[in-house]
Amino acid sequence: MKVLPSSFHLNGHTQGASSTLWEATGKGRIQDLHLKLVQFLTNHAAAKTVTHYDMVVSLAELPFAPTRPTTTQITADWITITWKHGGGPQVDSYTLYYRAKSSSQWIVIKDIRGRTSMSLKELQPYTTYQFRLFALNDLGTSKPSPLAEFKTSPKGLYFRRSRLTTHHN
């Protein structure tokens, strides 16, 4: 399935015992495409029948990228991140990619449904992690969210809602 740009013009022609000429135009964010079909039916006696069709075709769009992830809680081995729907078409699920900044290998969590936050546990203390998200729907995958970086706390410290406190065991 081809995703159409925000401004387009399509036309086409098929041949045979019946010929179909079709064209479509659109501008701006396309929700519905108004398509006009003109069909010429020819018979052996060279008589011509012209039939006009007007129809509306609904177009699907890729989801918009989610917002940059933010954090609500950071400890030495745990980060809770949140994000928002980027607007646009319906999102069926999200895919989260994260890694230690020093690593080239992304860890992937797929099929995140019905929520816009996630707690990641068993992280390393005092390590910077990078996060990015993708939104998915029936048509495909969005562009990535802007990259976010958060650093876990040193052991024994804990961050919640912009406050750093000492955690005693």
- pLDDT band, residue 52 (cuts 50/70/90): low
Structural domain including 44 reads 7-58
Higher pLDDT, 155 or 1: 155
**88 shares a domain with 155:** yes
Evaluate whether residue 138 is within a structural domain.
yes
**132 shares a domain with 86:** yes
Task: Report the C-alpha gap between 140 and 1 in whole angstroms.
Answer: 10
Lowest mean pLDDT among 29-38, 54-63, 125-134: 29-38
**12 shares a domain with 51:** yes
Report residue 19: phi and psi, to 5°: -115, 140
Task: Report the C-alpha gap between 58 and 88 in whole angstroms.
Answer: 15
Please state the rounded mean pLDDT for residues 93-103: 97
Residue 138: the pLDDT is: 86
* Tokens standing for residue 54: 């007007």
**54 shares a domain with 108:** no
| 84, 70 Cβ separation under 8 angstroms | no
Task: Report the C-alpha gap between 129 and 145 in whole angstroms.
Answer: 15
- pLDDT band, residue 56 (cuts 50/70/90): low
Evaluate whether residue 169 is within a structural domain.
no
The DSSP symbol for 76 reads: S
**100 shares a domain with 137:** yes
Percent of the chain at pLDDT exceeding 90 = 49
Q: How many CB atoms lie within 10 A of CB 30?
A: 19
Please state the rounded mean pLDDT for residues 101-118: 96
Task: Report the C-alpha gap between 109 and 149 in whole angstroms.
Answer: 17
Evaluate whether residue 2 is within a structural domain.
no
Q: Is the pLDDT of residue 78 over 50?
A: yes
**76 shares a domain with 42:** no
Residue 62: the pLDDT is: 87
**112 shares a domain with 76:** yes
